[in-house]
Structure formats: structure tokens, C-alpha cells
Structure 1
């Protein structure tokens, strides 16, 4: 017992000795006075660019966004950002940020539930606002995300949050806005497989999953009609799929799976469908457009799916989706460590065909529209939340991106994070060593 107490005391001492700057910064206080950013180039998010612009906001809402020379400077505290760029806060769909911290430590993973059919599981209540990763994401301008459960056939419901809050109740922007369905993979026999029994078992398992999914959808539709005696949380959570108040996010990549899953959802009366992943979206573009389906495309920095494809195909897909008239947003799949690279994913798309403002829209206004929060965020327009980013350079270019200010609902967010702290710590160490090192006399060098 004495050893155990000593061990616990030592562990607590070690935790308390970590410098404050290495911790997650406290959430910013509520905006207390009107603020106006002036002199920057404004990228509205809808394709419009305003040079020498000003953006004013009060009580967390944008009150002015336009040319600087028509702004009423007298009523604001003015922040001069001349020569910089103002953008809407970036939005990352399909993320496990705050649901997963250290993948090798089970206690920090809360992204899935036991079982295959969990439509009633709510990702929002598992969201950890004290994640060390969140501040590193904000540093690159990503200020909102969609908390997405994973695993099983129906993973649960996702919610939209902003990334500066004391708890999940403070963070939530739109709770339980959609249910996530992982479409069962079709079996594709590669070459002359000798494992016929294994393929047969996989085919039977897929059919069983589809049969169970069909029954669940039918039961949910009946439950929505009011024909039930007892409360059923699973069925109740799916009711919004049949009146359009909830989206069905279908995770699928293969073209035939995309078509099969959309037809399945429509046959069961689902009103609002979004495809997540969409690796083969271009191959079925006509079908997607005819059915008014949006895409959350996850593969910009992926390898081509087929050996014969153009090596640049993943980079060009956003442009091809735009050209085909299919609404789309970009994500970095569920990798929490890749979320900070979201602006550079958009930058890659811009380098391969998309106009720079179209690429920006793919991680701002388009994403907001697909997630159903475009009346609040996604563009820098009067009446929307003052969730905006200021960068000294091009936000979508990793060579010049340098976020100097970030505001979430008008609150000035602390941009410090653990990685910045460690960089400064060791940068100061080596600079001090170089300064203290003895210099070699010129005569000795010769």
C-alpha cells in the first residue's frame, strides 16, 4: 500500500509540474466590445474577394463585411491587419477529433460502441474539449468539425461543434444532425482465388447484414408513423431520416456500392442523403447529379484506386466534381492527426484545376451547406457567426499559411498549443547553445 501511495503521489507531482503553456489553452471569454478588422483582403467564402476590406463583429455576430472606406470605424475597436487575408473559419466534416486521443491507450478512445447497429449512439456526449490535438488544429484555421462515430454498420449520430469550449454543451452548434451508415462492402474476386469457402462465407455475411438493415429501416418507418406501444431508442433516433430533419451519411467508395446504397435509402423513404468517401464518385457522376446527392470527398491525398488510373486522379477529382455540378466538401477522413492539413488539401485541389476560391468554398461554405449550418457559418457575411480566420499569407498554401488571429463566435481564440510550446522550448535551447559556444579565431581557421 505504501508503494502504491508513493507511486500515485509521484505521478501527480509529475503532472502538476508540466508548464502551463504545454496544456490546452482555456476557452476565450465572450466578446465584450465591437471589433473591426481592417486593411486585409477578404475571401468571403462564396467566391467573392474584396481588396482592402473591413470585417466588423459584435456579440459574436458579423455586423459589417465590405470595403474599408465605407465602414463606420468610430463604433469599433480597430485591429489593423493590413496586408493579411481574412477567411471564414474552416469546417472539417467526418472527424473523430475529441473522440480519440491516443490510439494505443484504450481509455482515450471513444469513437465507437459495441455492436453493429447503433443509430441511437450520440457522439456529442463523448466529445472531449480538453483534447491536446484541438489547439493544433485551430492553429491552421480549422475552427469547426463534425464529430463522427465509426465502426459497425450503423455507427450512430454525428454533431457539429466549434473548437473552443469548456464542455460539449458549450461546443455544440447542431446536435445529432445525421446518422452514419457504413455500407457493406461488395465482394470483388481478384484473380483465380482458391478460397471459395471464404468468399462464400463473406457473401452470406453481407446478405445477413443487408437483411437486418432492411428490417431496421422498415421498423423505423413504422415507428415514425406512430404505430408502436413501447419506446424504442434505436427506432426513435432514426425518425428524422424520413422527414428530412436528419441526414443519412452513407460511407461508400466503390461505384456500384454508391449506387446500391442510394437506391436502398430512397426505397425506404430517406429524404436527405450524403455520400462520404466517394472514391468512385466521378464514375457515377450522372447518377449522383440525377439524384441530387452531395459528396464529402475523402481522397485528395490518397493513391489512385485502380492500377490503370491517372496518378493525379485523386488530386483532380474535386475539379471534376465541380465540373459535373455535384455539390461537394473535402475532408481528411477520420485521421485526427491529419485534420490540421485540411487547408492544404484544398490547396492541392486548387493546384489541380479548381479555382482558389472554389477550393476555399469546399472547406467552408460548401461544407456548411452539406452539414446544414450555412445560415450560421461558412462565409463572412452580415448576420452570421463571427467565426473567422486571419492569415498573414495564403491560408491554403503550406508555404505561406500563418494564422495570426482566429475568432469563434467573436471570441479571440488562443492560438498556442503543445507543439508550438515544444518548438519554442528547443529552439531557445539551441540558440542559447550557439550563443555560448566559443568562437574560433580567424588565424586558427587559416
Structure 2
């Protein structure tokens, strides 16, 4: 058993305990108590007097382990730019657990990450949620299929327009997605017929298998969309096919906040600590998070690692507080909200009894730029010590 004692504990969902104890057993949070309870003999103790304890932070959208640090072309496995529709590719097959980015994540207090294909293709492939410690990817997986990545806006039309093929316009991007979802509907119908008559069973198609899961609402589309019109198009297509969708980036979300509120869509905002590298980012700003949050939307903050290095996730949240977001809501935007966004809030995202013991001990408040991570704990094991 491991005990963290004398800590200021920010549970996220159950308030803050000014001086408390967290007991960890078998990789789970066993107890959270006020004061200094009597501990079982043999308990390993971490004295966090004067420190702040939070749940591990969660990168809601990025490319950890797929865009490897300090390698260049050899470590760039994020975009399969040979076809605008590649739902059959899986991010998990490209993740290198020995990528230096994982060490940076642990040093920065990030214990879980959503690793995704990139946005060059209209349909990029399957995404995965992983812990940031381990050497075998299967042993690090938190959610093996967190969604199917799709992309709108500049990226697909630029990549394939340069190749003189579909899509070279926003119309073409929307058409490709509709075409593939329509194929998946027909494929799903054939599967149902095949259950009645084996002779009518279709040949297996890995890409359509992935999209059938979307049509059945087993997994959502994760839609790369910066500009307001692209966000609206993404939601329009999702409604046409009655599928779940989340909006990733949402740079111009503040321009259509009433629409997003009406649709009650989950949004992840960022990477905002970056330059305006393309037209879609002209209205980039940390105030977007506060505007959407004030309207009751569930908002997460993302780094899009390596666009912004993953260890700067708390800095992004801190900058959002400068634009009006409360510290409490900023912490939620990098812990419990991403957990809900990714469907893993029953395991991570807050300090609660029975959840995974993914815990960070900070030298001060996480939003003070001078603060250091003292310890990072994943599944009850210390994976980083300053």
C-alpha cells in the first residue's frame, strides 16, 4: 500500500481537501481521508506537506508516440497520405512507447493521452487512449477504440488538391465522408442479411467495419474542424447519419456558440499556444474556452502534441484562466472533461475511491509557471520522481 499524506488534495469532482491522505492499493485509489489516519504497517509513505495533489492530466487530442520526438521523417507515422479515406488504419499500430514524448508527458504530469491519426485524410483511422507509462502498447491501453478520426477544412483539400484528386474543395471533403458512410450503411445491411442467409454475407472490409461501429454509435467521429463553417458541416453530416461526433480544435467555436449549445456537442479546443500558421487559425485565442464553458458546453483543452509539447498542457490551461476561465474549470478542462470526452471517466480524470491511482504531486499550484512536478504516479506506481 502507498499513502500520500499531508497533501492539499484537489479531487476535481468532490472539492479540495486542505490537508488529507490518499491511500493506494492494487493500483486503485483505496481511500481519501481528511487529516492523518492510522496507516497499516508496511505502508510506503510520500509526505506531500506544502504540496498540491491532483489527478493525472489528460491530453484529449494529440499524436503522442506517432509523431516521435527528435527523429524526423523516420518517426512521422501520423498521416497515411495515399488515399483520402483510410478508416482501416489504427493509431495503435504506429505508437512507439519509447518515444521521448512519453517521458516529457510524465515529467509534465500527463498520465493519459488520446493518440490519433492526423488530419491529412478525410477519414484518418481509428484512435486510441493510452497511459503514458509502459513499454508494451497493449499494456498501456485505456480505451482501445476511442473514435474514428475525420477531418474538414484546409488539410484534406490541400493534400489531395495538390495531387489533382478528390477532395480538392470543402464540397469534395464532405462528399467523400458521405460516400464512405453510405457504403458502410449498405455493408451493414448486407451483414444483417448474411445473418439470415450465409450466401449473402459480404466479404469482410476492415474500413467499413470501423465505420459500422460509428453508425451503430458504438464509437464517435472525432472531427478535426477549426473554422465555424467546417464545424457546422461536420455536425450536419453527423446528423444526416445519426452518428455521435465531437469537435476537435473548435478554433472559431466562439462565433457559433449558440449553435453548439443547441447541438450539445462535446468540444476540445486548441492548440492555442501556437502561431497562426494557416487561415483557419486567424481567430485563435484562449478566450474561446471561457466563452464556450460559460454557455455550459463540456470543454477540454488540447495541445495537439507535438504541435504544442504535451508537457505544456497545464500552461495552456493557465493561459485560459488569464482570459476569464476559472481555475476550477481550467483544471476540469485537462482532467475530468477530457475523461468524459474520451469515455474513460469511470477510470480516470478525478480523485475518487475505486478509480485508477493516476496522481500527480506538484511543488505548488499547477498553474504557477514556476511549479514543478515532484511525483507522477500511474496505476499506483511511481513513474517519475524529480
Q: CA deviation at 1:324?
A: 0.8
- Distance change (3 Å), C-alpha of 1:219 and 1:43: same
Stretch deviating more after TM superposition (293-302 or 256-265): 293-302
Aligned residues: 367
Q: CA deviation at 1:64?
A: 0.8
What secondary structure does 2:53 align onto? strand
Compared CA separation, residues 53 and 41, structure 1 to 2 (3 A): same
* Mapped partners of 1:302, 1:129: distance in 2: 26
Q: Deviations over 1:257-297 (max 9, x none)?
A: 11111011110121x21000101111111111111201110
**Against the structure 1 CA distance between its residues 322 and 111, is the aligned structure 2 distance closer, same or farther, given a 3 Å change threshold?**
same
* Residue 204 of structure 1: how far off its partner (Å): 6.2
1:297-336 to structure 2, matched below 5 A, reads 297-302=269-274, 314-335=285-306
Instruction: Provide structure 1 residue ranges, at least 5 long, that are not aligned to the other structure.
Output: 1-33, 187-197, 417-446
2:114 equivalent among 117, 124, 146: 146
Instruction: Report whether the alignment pairs 1:211 with 2:175.
Output: yes
Question: Are the structure 2 counterparts of residues 81 and 334 from structure 1 closer, same or farther at C-alpha, using a change threshold of 3 Å?
Answer: closer
Tell me what 2:250 maps to. Answer: 278
Query: Retained in 1: the 8 A contact 2:152–2:170?
Result: no
Q: Secondary structure at the match of 1:62?
A: strand
Aligned to 1:244: 217
In 1, Cα distance between the equivalents of 2:372 and 2:72?
Answer: 33
Deviations 1:395-426 (A, max 9, x none): 12212x1111111000111347xxxxxxxxxx
Partner of 1:127: 95
User: Which residue of 298, 301, 310 corresponds with 1:339?
Assistant: 310
Q: Which one is further off, 381-390 or 329-338? A: 329-338
Superposed displacement of residue 78, structure 1: 2.6
**Match for residue 197 of structure 2?**
none
Alignment partner, residue 74 of structure 1: 40
Q: Deviations over 1:10-59 (max 9, x none)?
A: xxxxxxxxxxxxxxxxxxxxxxxx11101010011226111001111100
Q: Tell me, yes or no, if the aligned pair for 1:330 and 1:363 is still in contact at 8 Å.
A: yes
Quote the RMSD (CA, aligned, Å). Answer: 2.7
Specify the structure having the higher radius of gyration (Cα).
Answer: 1
1:305 Cα deviation (Å)? 10
Q: Quick one: distance in 2 between partners of 1:171 and 1:204?
A: 38
Q: Contact 1:89/1:144 (CA < 8 Å) preserved in 2? A: yes
Whether the 8 Å CA contact 1:135–1:415 is kept in 2: the answer is no
Q: Is the 8 A contact 2:347 2:356 kept in 1?
A: yes
Residue matched to 1:8: none
Residues 1:293 and 2:259 aligned together: no
Checking the alignment, whether the CA contact within 8 Å between 1:153 and 1:184 is kept in structure 2 is no
In structure 2, what is the equivalent of residue 349 of structure 1? 320
Partners of 1:304 and 1:317 in 2: CA distance = 15
Is 2:86 the counterpart of 1:118? yes
Distance 1:243 1:60 in 2: 33
Superposed displacement of residue 106, structure 1: 2.0
Identify if the C-alpha distance between structure 1 residues 310 and 157 changes in structure 2 by more than 3 Å, giving closer, same or farther.
closer
- Equivalent-residue separation in structure 2 for 1:407 and 1:109 (angstroms): 29
What residue is the counterpart of 2:186 in the other structure?
222
Q: Which residue of 1 aligns with 2:230?
A: 257
Q: Which moved more, 1:103-112 or 1:39-48?
A: 103-112
Structure-1 separation of matches of 2:62 and 2:116 = 5
- TM-aligned CA deviation for residue 144 of structure 1: 1.1
Provide the C-alpha distance between the structure 1 equivalents of 2:324 and 2:278, rounded to a whole number of angstroms. 21
What is residue 381 of structure 2 aligned with on the other side?
411
Could you state the TM-score of these two structures normalised by the residue count of structure 2?
0.88
Residues 78 and 244 (structure 1 numbering): CA distance in 2 closer, same or farther, change over 3 Å? same
Point out the more displaced range, 78-87 or 216-225: 216-225
User: What TM-score does the superposition give when structure 1 sets the normalisation length?
Assistant: 0.77
| Equivalent residues of 1:38, 1:78 under 8 A apart | yes
Gaps of 5+ in 2: 156-161, 194-200
Cα distance in 2, alignment partners of residues 81 and 278 from structure 1: 38
